[in-house]
C-alpha cells in the first residue's frame, strides 16, 4: 500500500491566507517533470508568470486548462493577455469548451495535487495577503 499525505489550508477572502499563494509558488519552482493547472480564473502576478516560464526553461512540461467562456467578464478580458507570453515560453494552453469550468486543480510531477477553491488570480492572492 502506498502512503499518502494530506495538508489542508483554510482560505477565503475574509481570512488572511498568504500560505496558499506561497505554496503555489513553491510547487511551481520545485517541479521537475510536469505542472498541470486547471483554473477558471487565470490572472497571475509577475512571480507566477516567471515561475511558469522558468519551469519550462528547466524542461518541465507546463499545461494550463482554462475556460473558453468565463462567468466573470473582467477575467475573460484579462486572462488572454497572459497567453501570448506563456505560449512563447512553451506553456501549453488548452481551452475548455464544453460548458462552465470551475475546477481549481494543480498537479505537480504527477505526485502532488492541490485541489480546492483558491482562485489562481491576483485579486484572490492580494485579498489573501491583506486579509480582506
What CA–CA distance (Å, rounded) separates 19 from 25? 10
Domain assignment present for 12: no
Domain assignment present for 25: yes
What CA–CA distance (Å, rounded) separates 121 from 29? 18
Among 5-9, 58-62, 104-108, whose mean pLDDT is lowest? 5-9
pLDDT category at 125 given cuts 50, 70, 90 is low
Among 38-47, 51-60, 113-122, whose mean pLDDT is lowest? 113-122
Do 27 and 113 contact (CB within 8 A), yes or no? no
pLDDT category at 16 given cuts 50, 70, 90 is low
Mean pLDDT score across all residues of the chain: 84
Domain assignment present for 8: no
Q: pLDDT tens digits for 94-112?
A: 999 998 888 889 999 999 9
Q: Which domain holds residue 96?
A: 18-130
Centre a 10 Å sphere on the Cβ of residue 113 and count the other Cβ atoms it contains: 14
The count of domains in the chain is: 1
Tell how far CA 60 is from the center of its chain: 15
Domain assignment present for 7: no
What CA–CA distance (Å, rounded) separates 62 from 46? 17
What CA–CA distance (Å, rounded) separates 40 from 80? 12
Domain assignment present for 9: no
The per-residue pLDDT for 132 is 41
Domain assignment present for 56: yes
Domain assignment present for 5: no
Angle at 110 between CA 107 and CA 115, to 5 degrees: 30
CATH of the domain at 83: 3.30.870.10
The per-residue pLDDT for 7 is 77
Domain assignment present for 11: no
Whether this model's pTM surpasses 0.75: yes
Amino acid at each position: 500500500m502506498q502512503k499518502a499525505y494530506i495538508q489542508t489550508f483554510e482560505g477565503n477572502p475574509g481570512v488572511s491566507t498568504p500560505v496558499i499563494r506561497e505554496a503555489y509558488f513553491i510547487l511551481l519552482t520545485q517541479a521537475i517533470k510536469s505542472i498541470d493547472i486547471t483554473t477558471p480564473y487565470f490572472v497571475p502576478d509577475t512571480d507566477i508568470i516567471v515561475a511558469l516560464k522558468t519551469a519550462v526553461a528547466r524542461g518541465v512540461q507546463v499545461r494550463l486548462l482554462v475556460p473558453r467562456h468565463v462567468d466573470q467578464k473582467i477575467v475573460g478580458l484579462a486572462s488572454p493577455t497572459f497567453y501570448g507570453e506563456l505560449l512563447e515560453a512553451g506553456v501549453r494552453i488548452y481551452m475548455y469548451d464544453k460548458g462552465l469550468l470551475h475546477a481549481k486543480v494543480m498537479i505537480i510531477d504527477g505526485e502532488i495535487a492541490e485541489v480546492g477553491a483558491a482562485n489562481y488570480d491576483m485579486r484572490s492572492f492580494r485579498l489573501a495577503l491583506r486579509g480582506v
